[in-house]
Amino acid sequence: MQQWLSHPFDDDKLREECGVFGVIGVQDAANFVALGLHALQHRGQEAGGIITHSPEQGFQSAHRFGLVRDNFTSARLMDTLPGAIGIGHVRYSTAGSKGATAMRDVQPFFGEFAMGGAAIAHNGNITNAHAIRRELIERGSIFQSSSDSECIIHLMARSIQKNIPERMKDALRRIEGAFSIVAMTRTKLIGVRDALGVRPLVLGRIGPEKDAGWVLSSETCALDIIGADFIREIEPGEMVVIDKTGVTSTRPFERLASRFCIFEQVYFSRPDSILGGRSVYETRHQIGVELAREAPVEADLVCPVPDSGTPAAIGYSHESGIPFAMGITRNQYMGRTFIEPSEQIRNMGVRLKLNVNRALVAGKRIVLVDDSVVRGTTSQKIKQMILEAGAKEVHFRIASPPTAWPCFYGVDTPERSKLLAANMTEDEMRDYIGVESLKFISLDGLYRAAGESGGRKASCPQFCDACFSGEYPVAPTDMIARGFELKVQSAAAE
């Protein structure tokens, strides 16, 4: 088995836990799925899986640890996945390395029902999964994985509905939290989003409409890689069922105001994707513009912390008039060089990943633009590297508000006690990191950058921003049962 290690020195970021992709009506569907997963690799680098179906061989699956390019480019492996329909999934570790994750936790999951088999891939998190799992086990269900997503399969098995889509509706009405799901039967590709639309899911088409193949994906960038046309986003609370007759849409859930995850705009999604009809790159560029207006500073250069800080840094430079420069270079290959790093290598931390361009920064006042500050440890190390390279001053500008609350909707977040912003004021964080100034974009500024010109509507926010505001659109039932304390809402807010 290939050895794989996520970067222990790169745990100072929030991690999207997965991406999903599915296709129907094409020859060699598995190859399309592999390409789609490759485009979604930024959403999950720990493991991936593909399930396909052909009339001759039935359902076939392959699950592997590691990158898509290291596993699903093997002709020998791909030949074992025949058929014109398939789905796939990539995931991140929730603990910084493969750790306790077992192969049985790698999606997609498969279940055999009376009316035939079905496979499911889930992006998001079920916030009442522990309660449901306990109930199902007490009633005789036997779980094979530790994933909350497996609850959906068991709930489907207990439904009395006569077909897979209706059983899925039954199951999803029982769960709370966030879900964008791609599923398949022998003849159908199914896509569904929760009523709030927290996580993304889009529909694409391959070829002319008359003989089209259809695609479901977490992001539009995965449509581009296979030459598919973007048709539309799956709407919050919508289920689409796709077969040889075309696309059928239903609304199995109560209509609610959308609460799409705003951190998708800040960090998770690829900058060449389209979210809510808006370019992710455009939003990140505009975040930099808003930051420059809210938090100006006298400086000589604006430098991004690559790669996610780059669009915001360009926007900051354009608005402020301070020249933009790539003062930090990212080493794209460090993850494949150090499979089992020694303690000495581990202590080098971000130096394995980032290197400062001394000729650019020496003697300069530097504005560093990054997407977020989570624990603050990486920010400290980057600041030290910039100073050691001869910079006169270092100013941090952060393209998101302070991350003070954990996410329970499909993002790997440290517990609240380990979030810097949960325990320090902005000035205290500045002193802890050790920079001349530290400023975060305001929540209203972030909303304006995302296309909401009036800013955030406090009575009904347009996005899910719980990691910044502590206002959870869906109560994290399991975590509350474990003692997690929600933010106390003021009378004015109510």
pLDDT band of 8, cuts 50, 70, 90? very low
Who's near 102: CB < 8 A, 6+ residues apart? 145, 146
- pLDDT digits 0-9 by tens, 372-392: 999 998 899 999 999 999 999
What percent of the chain lies above the pLDDT cut of 70?
90
Check whether 441 has a pLDDT greater than 50. yes
Give percent above pLDDT 90 in the chain.
82
What pLDDT does 52 receive?
Answer: 98
Say what the pLDDT of residue 331 is.
79
Residue 338 clears pLDDT 90, i.e. is over it: no
| Residue 392 confidence (pLDDT) | 97
Residue 54 has pLDDT above 70, yes or no: yes
Q: Among 88-102, 291-305, 479-493, name the one with the lowest average pLDDT.
A: 88-102
Residue 492 scores a pLDDT above 60: no
Q: What is the mean pLDDT of residues 447-473?
A: 96
**Which residues are catalytic, by number?**
18
- Higher-confidence residue of 3 and 278: namely 278
pLDDT above 50 for 314: yes
pTM of the predicted structure, to 2 decimals? 0.91
* Mean pLDDT across 357-365: 96
**Cβ contacts of residue 89 below 8 Å, gap of 6+?**
18, 19, 20, 21, 37, 44, 48, 49, 106, 107, 108, 121, 122
Q: In the chain, helix, strand, coil percent, each to 5?
A: 30, 25, 45
> Across residues 136-157, what is the average pLDDT?
93
- Amino acid, single-letter form, for residue 135: E
Q: Give me the pLDDT at residue 6, please.
A: 36
User: How confident is the model at residue 457, as a pLDDT?
Assistant: 97
What integer pLDDT is reported at residue 195 of this predicted model? Answer: 97
Section 24-40 average pLDDT: 97
Where would I find the H helices in 101-259?
129-138, 150-158, 164-174, 221-225
Mean pLDDT of the chain: 90
What burial class does residue 54 get, using C-beta atoms within 10 Å of its C-beta: 0-12 exposed, 13-18 middle, 19+ buried?
A: middle
pLDDT tens per residue, range 189-201: 999 999 999 999 9
Residues 55-100: tens digit of each pLDDT:
999 999 999 999 999 999 999 999 999 999 999 999 985 433 444 5
Which segments within 262-314 are labelled E, that is strand? 274-275, 278-279, 301-304
The pLDDT, as a whole number, for residue 490 is 52
How many whole angstroms separate alpha carbon 57 and alpha carbon 59?
A: 7
- From the list 454, 457, 458, the residue with the least C-alpha distance to 493 is 458
Instruction: Count Cα neighbours of 276 within 13 Å in the Cβ-side half-sphere.
Output: 21
Please, which pLDDT band fits residue 339 given cuts at 50, 70 and 90? very low
Residue 144 three-state SS: coil
Average pLDDT over residues 232-248: 97
Categorize the per-residue pLDDT at 4 as very low, low, confident or very high, splitting at 50, 70 and 90: very low
Phi, psi for residue 397 in degrees, rounded to 5: -125, 125
87 DSSP β-pair partners: 22, 51
pLDDT band at 410, cuts 50/70/90? confident
Amino acid at 314: I
Return d(Cα 180, Cα 194) in angstroms, integer.
7
Q: What pLDDT is stored for residue 2 in this prediction?
A: 30
The mean pLDDT value for 401-420 works out to 91
Provide the 10 A C-beta neighbour count for residue 112: 11
Quote the CA–CA distance of 445 and 415 in Å, as a whole number: 26
Look at residue 187 and tell me whether its pLDDT is greater than 90: yes
- The whole-number pLDDT of residue 307 equals 84
Q: Which of 304-318, 321-335, 449-463 has the lowest mean pLDDT?
A: 321-335
**What is the C-alpha to C-alpha distance for residues 65 and 171, in angstroms, rounded to an integer?**
29
The CB density around residue 432, as the number of other CB atoms within 10 Å, is 17
Question: What is the distance between the alpha carbons of residues 114 and 23, in angstroms, rounded to a whole number?
Answer: 24
Q: Which amino acid is at 424?
A: M
What is the reported pLDDT for 211? 84
So what's the pLDDT on residue 330? 86
Q: What is the pLDDT of residue 213?
A: 96
Of the pLDDT bands very low, low, confident and very high (cuts 50, 70, 90), residue 15 is low
**pLDDT at position 39:** 98
Cα separation, 27 vs 62, in Å, equals: 18
Predicted local distance difference test score (pLDDT) of residue 411: 85
How far apart are alpha carbons 132 and 84 in whole angstroms? 34
What pLDDT sits at residue 424? 96
